[in-house]
Structure 1
Amino acid sequence: MLIPSIRKIHNVNSSKVIGMSYSFKMAGLIPWESTLERDWLLHLESNLAIREIYGQPETFDYCFQGKWHRYTPDFKACWYDPHRLPTLYEVKPHDVASSDLFRQQSDCIRQALAMYGYEYVVKDEYEIRRQPVLNNLNFLKHYADMFVSRQDRDRIHYAFDDGKTFCLQWLLEQFGWHKTDLAKLYYLMWRGWLVYDEHRVVSRSLVVWPAKGAW
């Protein structure tokens, strides 16, 4: 089964187009208000260190240029590391994120959120839409609910003794698997159990290796 298609609806109170993306971490839909937010959500969903993701989670008060304002972050990420503060993300186009006014405003927001016990991070399109990273994630997400047996996981893991690395095609041939069995390897890559060079496009020739501590 593939991740459900993104469903778009119109907000009756504004001209914005809002979308909902399915999250396997949350076993439900998470809202976004731009395709840039949607793309950043994909990065969050694929981050193994993140336990939970929330869209537009809370609203906070902060003071900027002598006036009080209200701020609602785009996303909140809670981490498996109990010592790490929850992170609130703001997603902006590069020309907005790099403007002096926005940076000044962000500094005020960051200081206010620190007092509430949050980390505040701004992400722009240059980081979010790096290629082939984003295309790889969009491809691998379709295998997020693939089932791989414990026996198959162990066979794959044991093939990488002594720090070896192999391409996906070699692993298929090693186990006598068919083309359809690539889905198992793609699932392990999505889960972060198999690591690869993010600057390379996912293909059968892609070299992978096991992530430390993931098995």
Structure 2
Amino acid sequence: MNQNPVQLIRPRRFGDERGWFVESWNRDRFAAIGIRCEFVQDNHSMSATPGTLRGLHFQRPPHAQDKLVRCLRGRIFDVAVDLRKGSPTYGKWVGATLTAEGGEQLFVPAGFAHGFVTLEPGTEVAYKTSAVYAPECDAGIRWDDPDIGVGWPLPAEGPILSGKDRTQPALAGFDSPFGYDGRPLQPLGEALVP
């Protein structure tokens, strides 16, 4: 069982001359690699232009969200930042490229901020969440916070941002509502769903 709280996952694809089939979510199979949650909402975004950056977002308790993210068309660089108070990896990040072609997924548990930048035109991203969207719990951290230092692969002209993402607060002074569960963030290793 993987003890890393953030996991890069590659579900098995079954292919033949027609194409392929994949189970993108199977509760029992994901539980076998340590992911145990009940998803209650699916989200789907399309970003027309490469360099569109969405993040770094999270929901506060009591509506904190686990997320299972995948790219349906194009490619993204997907990031998770540890926001768990008392964690030895607080403010550290991990990231991975997710592609429609490869089928990779990133599991981001509650207690982590999440964001991605698109790498191709017309990129589509879908993700499952373990809590419904609750505007009163919606929160974020600056995408370019120097205390976090995410290595975003950005175009020369910089990212395309929403108004909300231009004005997110810095990590310094953030009073995290998330507790540390004893599992420090580790570099991403790939897990194949059994």
**Larger relative contact order, structure 1 or 2 (CA cutoff 8 Å, min sep 6):** 2
On whether the aligned pair clears a TM of 0.5, the verdict is no
**How high is the TM-score relative to the length of structure 1?**
0.23
Higher strand residue share = 2
Give the structure with the higher percent helix: 1
The TM-score with structure 2 as length reference comes to 0.24
